[in-house]
C-alpha cells in the first residue's frame, strides 16, 4: 500500500482545534490578558460538532491521532509514505465580529501552527489563517510570515460576509500572488449570516451540504469580478468542496456569460477557461455514487487532468479503510493527483523552507 | 438568443415528423414555465378589497430584499425577449393575443403551466398584504388567461411565509380545474422543509396538486450563504444553489416521510446540479443518520420519487453526452420541458435540446412527464 502513495502530498489535514488558552501562549501581554480577563475560554463554531462521528474517523478518534504531529504521522504520513501534508487549522478566527480580536487570534493561530506542528515534523506545511474581517490586517499577516516558506497557502472560508471576488479583498490577492501563496478556500462559514440564501437550516448535515453552494458563490464571484484577469498567477484551491458540483456549475456560468457578458466586459475568456487555468480542488470528499461506475465520466467532465489535488481531509471521516482515492484512476492521472498537481499549485512547496 | 426566435416552428427534430409515432403523441408539448404579466397593477384592482388596493396605492410593495422590485438590474427590459413586447402596450407576457400567436400556436403547445412573478405578494414583509395580493393574482390568472385560453393552466400563488393563509388559498382553489399547481419561490424566509411550511404541503397532497418551486424570491437573507454577489450573471447562475437548499431541506426535515404523495417541481433552476447534490446527501446520510433518525430511506430515494425539474435554463456542456449522462442519472421521467416564455433566455422546444437526444427521451421530456405530474384534465 505504501508504494501507491509514496511521496504523495496530502493537501488537506486538520490539526485538532487549539483552545483559546493554548493560543494565548502565542499572544503578547495585552491580548493574553484580554483572553484571561474577558474569560474567552471557549471559541467554537457550529461547524464540525466535536463528538459527531463525521468530525473524527472512529479509529483516529480512538488513537487521538489529530492531537499531535506524532499522531498524525502514525495515522497517515509514516503509514503511507506521504511526502508532505498541508495543515488547515479551522479555529474559527473568522467568527469574531471584532477585527482586532480576529487579527490577534489569527497571529496566535499561525504562530501556534509553526511552533506546535511545523517545527515538530519537517514534512508538514500549512496555510496561513487570515483575519478576513479586515483585508488590510490580512495583508499584514501575509507580510509578517511570508519569509517562512513552510506556509504555502492563505486560508479563507467558503462563506464569509461578502463573496471573495469583491475588490475590497484584492489587496490580499496581490500579496498572495507576490509571495507565491495559493488562495485556499475551505468549507466553513463565519456564521455572520445564514448559510443558505433561504436562512438557517435545522441540521448540521444540511449546513455541511450547503457548503458546496458556498463554493458556487465564491467561484462565480472570483471569476466574474475579474480576479484572475487582475492576478494572472493566482491559484485558488477549493478545499473540501465535494468536486462533482463544479462542471455543471461551470456549464451554467459559461452559458450565462454568453448571454449577458456585457455586464462583465473585462472577462476576455469563458468562465470555464478561467476555472481550468486557476482553480484546483482537493479530492476528499468526492461526491460520487458508490463504486467505480460513474467515476470516469464524472472526472471527464472537468476536461482537465491538472485540477485535482490529493487530500485525506484527516481526521474528518470521508472514507473508510484506505480508500483515499476514487477507484479506477489511470496511473498517469494518479501521479498528477498525488504529487505533480500540488507542486504546480503551490510554488512555495517546491522550495526548501 | 432571443432576437431570432421563430414565429412558426420549423421541424428540427426527427420525433415530431416521424410518421411512426402515433398522431396523438406528436407535438403535444407541455411547458412547465410560462410567465404571464400584468398590463399594469390595475389589472389586480378588481380582485382586491378597497382596503388593500388603497394600501398598495399608498405604500407600494416592500420586499424582503429591501427593494420594491428585483435587486439585480436585468440584462434587458423585464428580462424579456425584445420581440415579446405587445403592440397594444403592456409588458411581455401581458397580451394573450401575442402569447397565442408567438408561443402557443407557433410551437403547438398543448398546455402551458403559468408561473406569475412580479406583483404576487410572495416576498412581501407584510404578510396580510402578501395574502391579499396572492389571492388577487390567482383570480387574475384565471380570468385573464385560463378562462379565455384553456391551454394555459393557472398556478395557485401562495403567501408561503404565512402557511395557514397559504393552505386556505389552496383549499379555496383546488377544485377548480383552471389550476394545475401550487406555486412557491425558492428563497423563502426559512428553508422550505421547515415545519412552518408543512400546512402547505398537507394541502397540496390532499388535493393531488404538485408544488412548483420557482427560483427567485427574497428571504430577508443575502441571496447566498456567502453574501450578496455583485452581478446579475452571478445571481442568475446561482439560482441552482437556492434549489439545492429546497431539495436538501425537504429531504432532511422528513417532508416526504410525512407527505408520501407530495410532488415537487423545481422550476427554472436547471438540473445539472442534482446528481452531485444527491450523491453528497447520500454520503453524508451514511455518516450522520443519527442526526436525522426520522428518515427511513436514503436521500436519493426520496429525491428519485418526489422531485421533478424543468429543463430551462439547461446546462450546456460542450459535449452533449455529458448532458445526457446527467439526465440519465436524474431519471428521464423526472425532467419537464419549460420555455420560460417570454423571458430572454427562452428555450425553443425544437432547438434547445442537443442533437443526439433519443426521440423517445425527447418525447418524455416534452410531453409524457408533464402529463404524469400536472393535473391537466
- Long-range CB contacts for residues A69-75, cutoff 8 Å, separation at least 24: A69/A116, A69/A117, A69/A120, A69/A121, A69/A124, A70/A120, A72/A13, A72/A15, A72/A121, A72/A314, A73/A121, A73/A123, A75/A314, A75/A315
Is A249–B290 a contact, with Cβ atoms under 8 angstroms apart? no
- CA-wise closest residue to B44 among B118, B146, B155: B118
Is B288–A216 a contact, with Cβ atoms under 8 angstroms apart? no
Q: How many CB atoms are located within 10 Å of the residue A182 CB?
A: 27
Query: pLDDT-derived band of residue B129, with 50, 70 and 90 as boundaries?
Result: very high
Q: Is B292 on the interface with A (CB under 8 A)?
A: yes
**What is the overall mean pLDDT for chain B?**
93
Q: Is B7 on the interface with A (CB under 8 A)?
A: no
ipTM of the complex: 0.97
What is the pLDDT at residue A350? 84
The alpha carbon of residue B364 and the mean position of all alpha carbons in its chain are separated, in whole angstroms, by 18
Scanning every residue of chain A, which has its alpha carbon at the shortest distance from the alpha carbon of B324? A297
Question: What residues of chain B lie within 8 A of the CB of A303, using their CB?
Answer: 318
Question: What residues of chain B lie within 8 A of the CB of A297, using their CB?
Answer: 322, 325
Is B325–A294 a contact, with Cβ atoms under 8 angstroms apart? yes
Q: Enumerate residues 248 to 277 of chain B having a beta carbon within 8 A of any beta carbon in chain A.
A: 248-249, 252-253, 270, 272-273, 275-277
Q: Calculate mean pLDDT across residues B324-350.
A: 97
CB B102 within 8 A of CB B83: yes
Distance of alpha carbon B306 from alpha carbon B324, whole angstroms: 21
Is B222–A193 a contact, with Cβ atoms under 8 angstroms apart? yes
Q: Would you call B213 exposed, middle or buried from its count of C-beta atoms within 10 A (0-12, 13-18, 19+)? A: buried
Question: What residues of chain A lie within 8 A of the CB of B291, using their CB?
Answer: 52, 203-205
When scoring B77, B234, B278, B314 by the number of chain A Cβ atoms within 10 A, the one with the most, hence best to mutate, is B234
The model's pLDDT over B192-220, given as tens digits with 9 standing for 90+, comes to 999 999 999 999 999 999 999 999 999 99
Q: Which residue has the cell 478576513?
A: A132
3-state secondary structure of B225: coil
Query: pLDDT-derived band of residue B11, with 50, 70 and 90 as boundaries?
Result: very low
What is the pLDDT at residue B233? 98
Q: Calculate mean pLDDT across residues B254-266.
A: 98
Query: pLDDT-derived band of residue B27, with 50, 70 and 90 as boundaries?
Result: low
What is the pLDDT at residue A352? 59
- Give yes or no for a cis peptide into B36 (omega within 30° of 0): no
Count of A-B CB contacts under 8 Å: 237
3-state secondary structure of A197: coil
Cell of B298: 436514503
What is the pLDDT at residue B18? 46
DSSP state of B100: I
CA-based nearest distance B359→chain A, Å:
23
Query: pLDDT-derived band of residue B376, with 50, 70 and 90 as boundaries?
Result: confident
Given a cut of 80, whether residue B16 has pLDDT beyond it is: no
Q: Give percent above pLDDT 70 in chain B.
A: 93
What is the pLDDT at residue B21? 45
Which of B186, B191, B315 lies nearest to residue A252, judging by beta carbons?
B315
What strands, in cross-sheet order, belong to the sheet with A9-13? Answer: A9-13, A84-87, A124-129, A151-159, A182-189, A236-239, A279-282, A308-309
What is the pLDDT at residue B4? 34
Q: How far is CA A35 from CA A25, A114, A129, A134, A138, in A?
A: 10, 21, 19, 20, 21
Q: Is B190 on the interface with A (CB under 8 A)?
A: yes
Query: For chain A, what percentages of helix, strand and coil (3-state, to nearest 5) are there?
Result: 45, 15, 40
DSSP string, A124-173: EEEEEE--TT-HHHHHHHHHHHTT-TTEEEEEEEEE-SS-TTSGGGHHHH
Is B288–A53 a contact, with Cβ atoms under 8 angstroms apart? yes
Scanning every residue of chain B, which has its alpha carbon at the shortest distance from the alpha carbon of A244? B276
Is B246–A198 a contact, with Cβ atoms under 8 angstroms apart? yes
Q: Calculate mean pLDDT across residues B50-54.
A: 98
Is B238–A263 a contact, with Cβ atoms under 8 angstroms apart? no
Given a cut of 50, whether residue B237 has pLDDT beyond it is: yes
Q: For the packed helices A99-116 and A29-37, what is the interaxial angle rounded to 10 degrees?
A: 110
CA-based nearest distance A14→chain B, Å:
19
pLDDT in tens for each of the 353 residues of chain A?
Answer: 446 899 999 999 999 999 999 999 999 999 999 999 999 999 999 999 999 999 999 999 999 999 999 999 999 999 999 999 999 999 999 999 999 999 999 999 999 999 999 999 999 999 999 999 999 999 999 999 999 999 999 999 999 999 999 999 999 999 999 999 999 999 999 999 999 999 999 999 999 999 999 999 999 999 999 999 999 999 999 999 999 999 999 999 999 999 999 999 999 999 999 999 999 999 999 999 988 889 999 999 999 999 999 999 999 999 999 999 999 899 999 999 999 999 999 999 986 55
Query: pLDDT-derived band of residue B106, with 50, 70 and 90 as boundaries?
Result: very high
Question: What residues of chain B lie within 8 A of the CB of A285, using their CB?
Answer: 280, 283
Q: Is B77 on the interface with A (CB under 8 A)?
A: no
Q: Which residue has the cell 500572488?
A: A177
What is the pLDDT at residue A142? 98
Q: Helix/strand/coil (H, E, C) string of A135-146? A: HHHHHHHHHHHC
CA-based nearest distance B158→chain A, Å:
17
Amino acid at each position: 500500500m505504501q508504494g501507491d502513495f509514496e511521496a504523495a502530498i496530502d493537501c488537506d489535514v486538520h490539526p485538532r482545534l487549539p483552545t483559546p488558552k493554548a493560543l494565548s501562549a502565542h499572544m503578547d501581554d495585552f491580548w493574553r490578558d484580554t483572553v484571561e480577563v474577558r474569560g474567552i475560554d471557549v471559541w467554537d463554531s457550529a461547524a464540525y460538532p466535536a463528538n459527531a462521528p463525521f468530525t473524527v474517523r472512529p479509529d483516529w478518534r480512538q488513537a487521538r491521532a489529530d492531537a499531535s504531529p506524532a499522531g498524525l504521522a502514525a495515522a497517515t504520513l509514516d503509514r503511507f509514505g506521504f511526502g508532505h501534508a498541508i495543515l488547515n487549522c479551522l479555529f474559527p478566527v473568522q467568527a469574531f465580529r471584532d477585527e482586532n480580536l480576529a487579527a490577534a487570534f489569527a497571529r496566535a493561530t499561525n504562530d501556534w501552527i509553526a511552533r506546535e506542528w511545523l517545527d515538530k515534523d519537517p514534512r508538514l506545511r500549512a496555510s496561513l489563517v487570515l483575519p478576513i474581517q479586515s483585508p488590510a490586517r490580512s495583508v499584514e499577516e501575509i507580510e509578517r510570515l511570508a519569509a517562512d516558506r513552510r506556509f504555502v497557502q492563505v486560508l479563507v472560508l467558503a462563506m464569509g460576509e461578502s463573496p471573495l471576488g469583491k475588490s475590497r479583498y484584492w489587496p490580499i490577492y496581490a500579496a498572495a500572488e507576490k509571495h507565491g501563496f495559493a488562495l485556499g478556500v475551505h468549507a466553513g462559514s463565519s456564521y455572520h449570516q445564514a448559510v443558505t440564501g433561504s436562512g438557517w437550516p435545522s441540521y448540521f448535515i444540511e449546513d455541511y451540504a450547503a457548503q458546496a453552494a458556498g463554493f458556487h458563490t465564491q467561484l462565480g464571484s472570483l471569476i466574474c469580478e475579474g480576479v484572475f484577469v487582475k492576478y494572472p498567477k493566482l491559484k485558488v484551491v477549493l478545499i473540501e468542496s465535494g468536486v462533482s458540483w463544479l462542471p455543471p456549475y461551470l456549464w451554467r456560468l459559461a452559458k450565462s456569460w454568453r448571454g449577458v457578458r456585457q455586464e462583465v466586459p473585462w472577462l476576455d475568456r469563458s468562465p470555464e477557461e478561467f476555472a481550468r487555468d486557476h482553480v484546483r480542488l482537493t479530492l476528499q470528499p468526492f461526491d460520487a455514487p458508490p463504486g467505480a461506475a460513474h467515476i470516469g465520466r464524472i472526472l471527464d467532465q472537468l476536461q482537465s487532468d491538472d485540477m485535482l489535488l490529493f487530500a485525506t481531509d484527516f481526521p474528518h471521516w470521508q472514507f473508510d479503510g484506505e480508500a483515499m482515492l476514487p477507484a479506477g484512476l489511470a496511473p498517469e492521472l494518479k501521479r498528477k493527483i498525488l504529487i505533480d498537481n500540488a507542486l504546480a499549485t503551490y510554488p512555495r512547496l517546491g522550495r526548501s523552507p | 438568443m432571443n432576437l431570432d426566435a421563430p414565429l412558426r416552428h420549423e421541424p428540427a427534430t426527427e420525433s415530431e415528423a416521424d410518421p411512426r409515432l402515433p398522431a396523438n403523441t406528436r407535438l403535444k408539448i407541455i411547458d412547465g414555465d410560462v410567465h404571464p404579466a400584468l398590463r399594469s397593477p390595475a389589472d389586480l384592482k378588481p380582485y382586491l378589497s378597497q382596503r388593500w388596493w388603497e394600501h398598495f396605492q399608498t405604500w407600494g410593495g416592500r420586499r424582503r430584499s429591501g427593494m420594491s422590485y428585483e435587486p439585480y438590474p436585468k440584462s434587458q427590459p423585464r428580462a424579456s425577449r425584445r420581440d415579446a413586447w405587445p403592440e397594444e402596450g403592456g409588458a411581455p407576457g401581458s397580451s394573450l393575443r401575442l402569447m397565442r400567436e408567438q408561443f402557443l400556436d407557433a410551437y403547438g403547445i398543448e398546455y402551458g403551466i403559468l408561473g406569475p412573478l412580479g406583483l404576487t405578494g410572495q416576498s412581501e414583509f407584510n404578510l396580510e398584504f402578501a395574502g391579499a395580493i396572492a389571492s388577487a393574482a390567482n383570480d387574475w390568472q384565471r380570468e385573464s388567461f385560463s378562462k379565455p385560453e384553456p391551454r394555459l393552466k393557472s398556478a395557485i400563488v401562495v403567501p408561503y411565509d404565512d402557511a395557514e393563509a397559504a393552505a386556505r388559498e389552496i383549499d379555496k382553489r383546488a377544485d377548480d380545474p383552471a389550476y394545475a399547481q401550487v406555486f412557491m419561490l425558492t428563497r423563502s424566509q426559512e428553508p422550505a422543509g421547515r415545519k412552518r411550511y408543512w400546512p402547505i404541503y398537507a394541502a397540496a397532497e390532499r388535493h393531488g396538486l404538485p408544488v412548483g418551486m420557482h427560483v427567485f424570491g427574497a428571504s430577508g437573507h443575502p441571496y447566498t450563504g456567502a453574501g450578496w454577489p455583485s452581478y446579475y450573471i452571478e445571481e442568475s447562475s446561482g439560482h441552482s444553489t437556492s434549489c439545492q437548499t429546497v431539495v436538501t431541506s425537504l429531504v432532511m426535515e422528513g417532508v416526504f416521510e410525512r407527505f408520501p404523495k407530495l410532488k415537487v417541481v423545481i422550476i427554472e433552476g436547471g438540473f445539472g446540479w442534482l446528481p452531485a447534490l444527491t450523491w453528497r446527501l447520500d454520503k453524508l446520510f451514511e455518516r450522520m443518520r443519527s442526526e436525522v433518525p426520522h428518515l427511513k430511506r436514503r436521500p436519493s430515494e426520496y429525491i428519485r420519487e418526489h422531485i421533478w425539474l424543468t429543463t430551462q435554463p439547461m446546462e450546456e456542456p460542450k459535449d452533449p453526452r455529458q448532458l445526457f449522462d446527467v439526465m440519465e442519472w436524474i431519471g428521464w421521467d423526472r425532467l419537464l420541458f419549460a420555455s420560460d416564455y417570454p423571458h430572454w433566455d427562452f428555450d425553443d422546444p425544437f432547438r434547445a435540446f442537443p442533437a443526439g437526444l433519443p426521440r423517445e427521451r425527447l418525447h418524455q421530456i416534452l410531453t409524457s412527464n408533464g402529463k404524469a405530474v400536472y393535473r391537466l384534465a
